[in-house]
Amino acid sequence: MLEKDVLELLQKSGAILEGHFLLASGLHSGKYVEKFRLLEQPEATGKLLSALAVRIKKYKPEVIVGPVTGGVILSFEMARQLGTLAYFTEKTPDGGMELRRGFDVSGKRVLLIEDIVTTGGSILKAADAVRECGGEVAAYAILADRSSGRFNPPEPVESMITLEIETFQPGSDTCPLCREGLELVKPGSGHAKK
């Protein structure tokens, strides 16, 4: 599956929105990725994961681990395709990640999976949790890498697509969408307050 096919699938599923968005960072952008428009469609998600599975088989994982919430869905589907176990990590009160529910990675080869990596924070914390429990991190599998090279762990990374999304400082001098007077939208919470 080529990157352009992955992009087409993301666009068709409605996961890539176009408009004028206020990001959590305070910056503006003309594109926004809403991963749940993809993850809510098992057939489309399964298609992407079967292409990804072909590339991660060689790491011979025994367990797939994903961080909540997207990672739960992805680890389950990837484990189904590879015939492994599917675990997930959950947030700790101090902002870390941990394995609960009797999930046992001790002495096992683990593949970490995540939907979209921006800074890599969640998946790296999930990897720490795996190591703390005696698991071996074999590789990382991600659907879309929009970290601009910031996500660069020592283990192998397999990514289906690299997304570069341009961001702008708010204001008509710096943001072309502000200049056009396009309505500003805060993704996930309806319209932004002005």
Q: Which residues bind Zn ion (CB under 5 A)?
A: 28, 175, 177-178
Cβ 175 to Zn ion shortest distance, Å? 3
Give the Cα separation of 126 and 99 in Å (integer).
8
Which one, 141 or 177, has the nearer CB to Zn ion? 177
Cβ 177 to Zn ion shortest distance, Å? 4
Give the Cα separation of 24 and 37 in Å (integer).
19
Which one, 33 or 177, has the nearer CB to Zn ion? 177
Which one, 27 or 51, has the nearer CB to Zn ion? 27
Cβ 167 to Zn ion shortest distance, Å? 10
Q: Residue 61: exposed, middle, or buried by beta-carbon count in 10 A (0-12, 13-18, 19+)?
A: buried
Which one, 7 or 178, has the nearer CB to Zn ion? 178
Cβ 148 to Zn ion shortest distance, Å? 20
Which one, 106 or 189, has the nearer CB to Zn ion? 189
Say what the alpha-carbon torsion angle 128, 98, 15, 51 is, to the nearest 10 degrees.
60
Cβ 179 to Zn ion shortest distance, Å? 8
Give the Cα separation of 173 and 17 in Å (integer).
24
- Is the backbone peptide bond immediately before 45 cis, with ω within 30 degrees of 0? no
Q: Is 6 left (phi over 0), alpha (psi -120 to 50) or beta?
A: alpha
